């Protein structure tokens, strides 16, 4: 491990604490929306999704800033914004001020995500890049898990505004970590003295486009389609009565979905670095990546079939296991493609296409649910995973023939 490893862990924990408030809102807002002076449930949907759409135009601006400002400055600004946007849900009511807060969170997340990718690129030398990115993603998952648990468990005990104030104050802990460990360096968007033999405008080669395709399909499938359709998928498969008895508790579809999401976030800090470390080995990333894509394609196809509920639930867990591997490896493949003088430009583009996939996913999910039912979502996700694997196989075969 390189000496810069602590900087990766530090920015991962900074990002994790910044995610506390955002993750809490996904649990709290759909239940307690009237406490915030909202008039209709559609406003909840807008508040939870506007940050994704804000990130699309802001991505190039954030990338431009990181090519001119120290990473530490960008991360410190992101933590400050994340704190303010979480505290806003403790102090304000009404759709307009909360919409502004969620838009600011979109800006904060763009700065955190790009800053995190650039920190990993600077800290790694290629031989440990997968492990570092896996550790980064895994630690981030802790923030999502704690935020969801805090929203679900403390909202009834303390009140939703008290939880927002508590998590907003906790976010401030990211400031000293960012100041101490995030390097005060500027990542140039191009080499200071470019070689005259190299074209000034980079070619859009398959090696550069495939990681972008992978990031898009990963976000579309796992952050969009699956996350939006998870509760309806489970509800359609639950035994008669639409509930599941577990350890003396009766769980509905939303509760089962929450337990499964908690499991996924819980194993992420352990499995994400392991997947990344395996991809750093002598066989490279592609065999493990193709295996994960194949597992996801097969499992998604099985989810569309009328299996017994216990077996169906095991298949769903296999999908979530593949999700952990594919997310880590997609990010690592993008970091491999970005390594070099145009890291800022490439990773900015990668975050934008990921955001587009995540933004389109919920819309596509509800269209598929309405037209084809839960089975349509499963088959669509299976097809996207299979097509992504086929694209990588074709590229790898052509590269070996050269």
pLDDT per residue of the chain (402 residues) written in tens, 0 to 9: 444 567 788 889 999 999 999 988 887 887 788 889 988 878 887 888 888 888 888 888 888 888 888 888 999 999 999 999 999 999 999 999 999 999 999 999 999 988 888 888 887 766 788 888 889 989 988 888 888 888 777 887 888 899 999 999 999 988 998 888 887 777 665 444 444 333 344 456 777 889 999 999 999 999 888 887 777 778 777 776 556 665 555 556 666 777 787 888 888 889 999 999 998 888 888 999 999 999 999 999 998 888 888 898 899 999 999 999 999 999 999 988 886 657 888 888 898 899 889 888 877 887 887 888 878 888 999 999 999 999 999 887 766 654
Q: How many CA atoms lie within 13 A of 47 on its CB side?
A: 32
CB 229 within 8 A of CB 364: no
Backbone φ and ψ of 167, nearest 5°: -70, -35
pLDDT of residue 83: 95
pLDDT at 399: 66
Query: CB neighbours of 52 closer than 8 A, spacing ≥ 6?
Result: 106, 355, 358, 359
pLDDT score of 159 = 85
| Boundaries of every domain in the chain | 5-181, 206-401
The pLDDT value recorded for residue 244 is 62
User: pLDDT value at position 196?
Assistant: 38
Question: Residue 251: beta bridge partners?
Answer: 244
d(CA 67, CA 187): 5
**CA pair distance 59, 351, nearest whole angstrom:** 7
How far is residue 120's CA from residue 267's CA, in Å, rounded to a whole number? 21
Q: What is the pLDDT of residue 200?
A: 42
Q: How many CB atoms lie within 10 A of CB 195?
A: 8
For residue 137, report the phi and psi dihedrals to the nearest 5 degrees. -65, -40
Q: What is the 3-state secondary structure (H, E, C) of 190-214?
A: CCCCCCCCCCCCCCCCHHHHHHHHH
Domain at 206-401: CATH code: 1.20.1250.20
Alpha-carbon distance 95 to 40, whole Å?
Answer: 10
Determine phi and psi for 201, rounding to 5 degrees: -105, 115
Q: What is the pLDDT of residue 252?
A: 64
- CATH number for region 5-181: 1.20.1250.20
Angstrom distances, CA of residue 227 to CA of 52, 143, 261, 263? 15, 18, 9, 14
C-alpha separations of 318 from 296, 301, 312, 371 in Å: 7, 12, 10, 26
Of 172, 161, 157, 183, the closest CA to residue 83 belongs to 172
Q: Are 178 and 83 in contact (CB under 8 A)?
A: no
Asked if 344 contacts 59 with a C-beta cutoff of 8 angstroms, the reply is no
Q: For residue 245, list its beta bridge partners.
A: 250
**Domain 5-181 matches domain 206-401 at the CATH topology level:** yes
Task: Give the residues across from 249 on adjacent strands.
Answer: 246
Q: Residue 104: enclosing H or E segment and its boundaries?
A: helix 95-123
CA dihedral over 211, 400, 277, 290, signed as positive or negative? positive
Distance CA 9, CA 11 (A): 6
């Amino acid at each position: 491990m390189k000496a810069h490893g602590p900087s990766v862990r530090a920015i991962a924990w900074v990002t994790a604490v910044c995610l506390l408030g955002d993750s809490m809102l996904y649990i709290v807002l759909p239940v307690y929306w009237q406490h915030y002076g909202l008039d209709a449930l559609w406003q909840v949907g807008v508040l939870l999704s506007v940050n994704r759409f804000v990130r699309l135009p802001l991505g190039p601006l954030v990338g431009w800033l990181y090519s001119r400002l120290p990473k530490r400055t960008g991360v410190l600004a992101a933590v400050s914004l994340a704190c303010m946007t979480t505290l806003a849900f403790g102090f304000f009511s009404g759709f307009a001020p909360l919409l502004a807060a969620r838009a600011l969170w979109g800006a904060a997340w763009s700065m955190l995500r790009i800053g995190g990718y650039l920190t990993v690129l600077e800290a790694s030398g290629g031989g440990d890049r997968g492990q570092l990115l896996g550790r980064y993603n895994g630690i981030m998952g802790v923030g999502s898990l704690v935020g969801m648990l805090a929203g679900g468990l403390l909202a009834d005990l303390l009140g939703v505004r008290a939880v927002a104030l508590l998590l907003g104050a906790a976010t401030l802990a990211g400031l000293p970590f960012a100041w101490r460990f995030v390097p005060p360096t500027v990542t140039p968007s191009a080499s200071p003295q470019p070689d005259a033999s190299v074209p000034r405008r980079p070619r859009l080669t398959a090696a550069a486009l495939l990681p972008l395709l992978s990031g898009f399909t990963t976000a579309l499938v796992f952050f969009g389609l699956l996350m939006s359709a998870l509760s309806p998928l489970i509800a359609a498969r639950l035994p008669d009565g639409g509930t599941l008895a577990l350890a003396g508790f009766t769980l509905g579809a939303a509760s089962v979905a929450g337990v499964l999401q908690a499991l996924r976030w819980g194993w992420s800090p352990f499995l994400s670095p392991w997947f990344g470390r395996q991809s750093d080995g002598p066989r490279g990333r592609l065999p493990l990546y193709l295996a994960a894509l194949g597992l996801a394609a097969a499992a998604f196809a099985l989810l569309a079939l009328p299996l017994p509920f216990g077996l169906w639930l095991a298949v769903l867990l296999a999908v979530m296991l593949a999700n952990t591997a594919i997310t880590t490896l997609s990010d690592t493949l993008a970091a491999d493609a970005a390594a070099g003088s145009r890291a800022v430009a490439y990773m900015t583009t990668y975050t934008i296409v990921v955001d587009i996939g995540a933004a389109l996913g919920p819309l596509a999910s509800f269209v598929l649910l309405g037209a084809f039912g839960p089975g349509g979502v499963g088959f669509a996700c299976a097809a996207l995973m299979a097509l992504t694997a086929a694209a990588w196989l074709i590229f790898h075969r052509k590269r070996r023939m050269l």
